[in-house]
Copies of this chain bind each other. A is one copy, B any other.
Amino acid sequence: MRRACITGGAGFIGSNLADRLTADGVEVVVVDDFRSGRREFVADLLKQTGATLIEGDVASDAVLDHALAGCDTVFHLQANADVRFGFDHPRRDIEQNIATTSAVLEAMRRNGVERIVFASTGSVYGEPAIHPTPESCPFPVQTSLYASSKVAAEGLISTYAHAFNITGVVLRFVSILGERYTHGHVFDFYRALKRDPTRLRVLGDGRQEKSYLYIGDCVEGILAALGATPAGTFDVFNLGTDETLVVDDSVRLICERLDVTPEIEHAGGVRGWPGDSPLILLDCTKLRAHGWSPRLGIEESVLRTLDWFERNQAVVLDEAVAR
């Protein structure tokens, strides 16, 4: 890899990936419109030689042509990540997740970019019959517009890989935690407890089992999956740990770290919201067979995240941070 474009490169995963690639000597072009990306996350990066920022919307062909010129690889991470309130704006996932992926693929054709790595999600499996869930598990039933839009984008990438001999790598992530994490329920709980440490409302029954992966392990997994995919082929890899953590246990970790003892109120029901999955646990044997494995367990990932929250109150408590 000589020069890579990262869409959503000022976001949580994108900026961590950008740091890693730059440290490795890769020229990095960050594209971000700062709807949910943060300038703080790329401030140090942009002091490095070979790192560039293009501020703009990846829906724009001009922005994409500018960003992709000379690149051999694009990491397409930009997305609407609002899983929970998808039905409040039912066209947003189509526009921001499907149409933009199409725009990136067309820009790759125009600019001769040979490889795309795409951030998909373990929620494409809906509520699968098999746990841990392997990549080959059928997923006939979608439970969120977000996951539907990721399924659609995966299909587009597969189509282009097949038609134009580009390399397409899809990663189905569990929830990612760690430095710069600013979206999801560990974040929501932390903010709520900072506002009011005496009580906390937890959606669902608190027994939903979630799987998490530390951002450092995620970035290494992305690169391992890319390395494991032969040129001109398409492949899909799960990326997660072999553990789960129930929601109530992450609440406990946060309360201990903050030294608070709130009254916990459970909203009830096995799902936090319509489309929430009561159990996400991915089978990551496939990528592990290529030498990757996560270094951090879930509890340590949560604790590192909380440490980062404590050191970055200005970001974490900023009301403008994307939910």
Q: Judge whether A221 is part of the interface by a CB distance below 8 angstroms.
A: no
Q: Judge whether A144 is part of the interface by a CB distance below 8 angstroms.
A: yes
Q: How many copies of the chain does the oligomer comprise?
A: 2
Contacts of A215 in B (CB 8 A): none
Contact B156 A141 (CB under 8 A): no
Contacts of A302 in B (CB 8 A): none
Question: Closest chain B residue to A138 by CB distance?
Answer: B138
The segment from A98-106, A252-260, A304-312 that touches chain B is A98-106
Contacts of A149 in B (CB 8 A): 152, 155
Contact A106 B94 (CB under 8 A): no
Number of residues of chain A lying within 8 A (CB) of chain B? 35
Give bound CA distance, A99 to B143, whole Å.
18
Partner of A142, one of B99, B145, B158: B158
Known: A135-B140, A151-B155. A94 touches B90 (CB 8 A): no
A298–chain B nearest beta-carbon distance, Å: 28
A259–chain B nearest beta-carbon distance, Å: 39
* Shortest 6 CB-CB contacts between residues of A and residues of B: A152-B152, A148-B155, A142-B155, A142-B158, A142-B159, A151-B155
Interface residues of A (CB under 8 A from B): 87, 90-91, 94, 98-99, 102, 105-106, 126, 135-138, 140-145, 147-149, 151-152, 155-156, 158-159, 162-163, 234, 236, 274-275
